[in-house]
Structure 1
Amino acid sequence: MAIPKYNEIQLPVLKILSDGKILKLKDFIEPIAKEFSLTNDEINEMYPSGNGHIFYDRISWALSYLNIAGLLEKPGRGLFKINSKGIELLQSPDKLSSYVEKSVQKSYKQKKELEISPIEITENKSEDLTPQEKLYNSFNKIRDTVYEEILNTILSKSASSFEKLVVLLLQKMGYGGEIKDSGLITKKSNDGGIDGIIKEDILGFGRINIQAKRYKRDLVIGREEIQKFVGALMVAQSNKGVFITTSYFSKGAIDYVKNLYGNTTVVLIDGIKLAEYIYNFGLGMQVEQLIEIKKMDSDFWDSMSDE
């Protein structure tokens, strides 16, 4: 039997988790292989590039999409557990595929300020695409899915872990330079509305103050919260601030920051931009596969005499 597609694996995944147990990805390999009567060769079949097992990868994608659709929870790193919505969908298995597809598409549509692909591609015209356009399309899909996984993982962590994460991110982005211990997490009992600090010079004269809010994705941050942060900057005698959240900012909050007067500068980083920075700067990320595309060197070939 052929190796099942990731969407064909989703229902068996939910059934395996239906008793409420918490499993790792590798725990699904044997029961799903048995479900589809796969041979050892099929289970262990590699991609032509040699980068990874096909069956294992498709299970991973099935779990990712179920998680994005809100049918699974991740109680820990690499752990999966069904939730009440997943149990509910199991009662109507014929609706599962369309529900996951619509949920994932809705999630993608809610993204704001994403980097635009060099080539805009519509799914329903894939037969008209060049191989390079299809490659761009695949890359964007994979990247967007990883963005979702990043944010869902952050939301499963503690608020203090999030504060440490954003300080590490700013350091990864080059703020603080080579200064030893340039990043600092403030104590909860006396943070004054400042969750973290990046020292820009050895003596600490220049500082970037950080506020980190690990909010649910659909919770908007309004102007009032940004005004409070600006007030905290004044108390800290600082004119540089970064407000980072997993959710998003209202238009009023964005306009307020744009119209700040004086020397105070505040940068707003919403959930999508946060995931993008984590992805692009490789914080907690690892390269899974490199694809090298070559084209002919016209200078080399043109230098040869024609027949």
Structure 2
Amino acid sequence: MNVQQLRKDDFYLPILRLLEALGGSASIEEMEQRLVDEFAFNDADLAEAHEKSGTPIILNKMAWARSYLKVAGFLANERRGVWLLTESGRNALSAGEAAIHTGVAAAVREYNARRKAASDASAAEEISPDELSFEAAATTEDVGDWRDELLSALKVMDPTAFERLCQRLLRESGFVKVEVTGKSADGGIDGVGVLRMNLISFQVLFQCKRYAGAVSSPIVRDFRGAMQGRADKGLIITTGSFTADARREATRDGAPAIDLVDGELLCDLLKERQLGVTVREVRSEEVSIDMTFLSTI
């Protein structure tokens, strides 16, 4: 498959269909895995990345498709990482693919018009219903600019600094006794921590990988072998993505489960805890003229 020629539009209908099939909601991981299977993407396809940012092209375009469908009101994501099919989305699905594309294009044009009216045209960055650069455009889900910038910064960090950042993230996420071991020839194990959940605690071994591409299944398999008998769970954190085989290997029946944190989720977690990410709320006004009032004054 020519990944470069793949359009975000190609995912509109499949995303709406799979959400309906899954009962109206799905996690990002569920959506990505279903789309990978439906389009029969192989590991080489999933490993192709934008030259500038190192962001995997296919997963990036899936994210853009979700964003555009959200702009159109066909999807919502009230909880981080969980996407919902709205009533408008169900109606669009019933109306057919042409209606979906028309609805998205109209919503994006309206969104751009509101942004231009709310801010100086020179400062506003538009998203476009046409096929533009996925790295250059902006989106209401913030899939583009800030994540690309953050991932680029993470990928050039010193390896030990990146490990310390992951250590801090785990502490902020409820882990205690988090240690970075940094031992060589230890099956890729970079550290250990204890996750406390009420009265229960789990010993967790973790691995930190500053990848531009996709983590493959052998890496997950080797990590599981290294953690055998030493921990209750495993965790792999990467700035890249995971191949379909790697995700399957992480949840293989009869083997200890390994949780996977890819670049997109890592960005979200750092943003939530404001680690290296500053979030500033911006307010805008929408002004309209009340002609009825003026005509009766």
Q: Aligned partners of 2:116 and 2:193: how far apart in 1?
A: 41
Q: Which runs of 5+ in 2 are unaligned?
A: 1-49, 73-102, 119-125, 128-137, 287-297
Structure 2 distance, partners of 1:134, 1:261, is 57
- TM-superposed CA distance for 1:258, in Å, is 2.7
Distance change (3 Å), C-alpha of 1:226 and 1:199: same
What's the secondary structure of 1:168's corresponding residue?
A: helix
CA distance in 2, matches of 1:230, 1:134: 54
Which residue, 225, 249, 271 being the options, matches 1:279?
Answer: 271
- Consecutive unaligned residues of structure 1, counting only runs of 5 or more, are 1-67, 71-102, 295-307
Q: Which of 202, 221, 234 is matched with 1:206 structurally?
A: 202
* Separation in structure 1 between the aligned mates of residue 228 and residue 116 of structure 2, nearest angstrom: 50
State the shift of 1:212 in Å.
0.9
Q: Deviations over 1:211-265 (max 9, x none)?
A: 11112x2x322111100111111142x1211111112211111112232325x22
Question: How far apart in 1 are the matches of 2:235 and 2:285?
Answer: 38
Matched residues in 1 for 2:170 and 2:233: separation? 13
Partner SS state of residue 259, structure 1: coil
Shift of the 222–109 alpha-carbon distance from structure 1 to 2, 3 Å rule, reads closer
| Distance change in 2, residues 1:114/1:126 (3 Å) | closer
Structure 2 contact 174–196 (Cα < 8 Å) conserved? no
Change (3 A) 1:268 1:210: same
Paired letter, 2:209? K
Which residue matches 1:119? 71
2:63/2:143 contact within 8 Å kept: no
Corresponding letter in the other structure for 1:147? R
- Structure-1 separation of matches of 2:71 and 2:116: 7
Equivalent residue number for residue 246 of structure 2: 253
Q: Percent identity?
A: 22
Pick the structure with more strand per residue.
2
How far off its partner does 1:291 sit? 2.3
Q: Is the 8 A contact 1:184 1:198 kept in 2?
A: yes
**Alignment partner, residue 225 of structure 2:** 231
- The structural deviation recorded for 1:109 is 6.0
Alignment RMSD (CA, Å): 4.0
1:197–1:114: structure 2 CA closer, same or farther, 3 Å change rule? Answer: farther
2:150 aligned partner: 150
**Among 217, 237, 241, the residue aligned to 1:244:** 237
Distance 1:189 1:169 in 2: 23
C-alpha spacing 1:183/1:221, structure 2 compared with 1 (3 Å)? same
Q: TM-score, normalised by structure 2?
A: 0.51
* Structure 1 stretch displaced more, 117-126 or 221-230: 117-126
What is the identity, as a one-letter code, of the residue corresponding to 1:221? V
User: Deviation of residue 119 (structure 1)?
Assistant: 2.4
C-alpha distance 259-246 of structure 1, shift in aligned 2 (>3 A): same
Note closer, same or farther for the CA distance 1:282–1:276 as it changes in structure 2 (3 Å cut): same
Superposed CA offset, 1:5-55 (max 9, x none): xxxxxxxxxxxxxxxxxxxxxxxxxxxxxxxxxxxxxxxxxxxxxxxxxxx
Which structure has the bigger radius of gyration? 1
SS of the residue 2:140 aligns to: helix
Q: Which residue of 2 aligns with 1:160?
A: 160
Residue 210 of structure 2 aligns to which amino acid in structure 1? R
The reply to whether residue 184 of structure 1 matches residue 179 of structure 2 is yes
1:188-222, Cα deviation, whole Å (9 max, x unpaired)? 247453112222359x963121111112x2x3221
1:119–1:133: 8 Å Cα contact kept in structure 2?
no
Amino acid at match of 2:276: G
Verify the 8 A CA contact 2:203 2:233 in the aligned structure 1. Answer: yes
| Larger RCO (alpha carbons 8 Å, 6+ apart) | 2
Residues 289, 128 of structure 1: alpha-carbon distance in 2 compared, 3 angstrom cutoff? closer
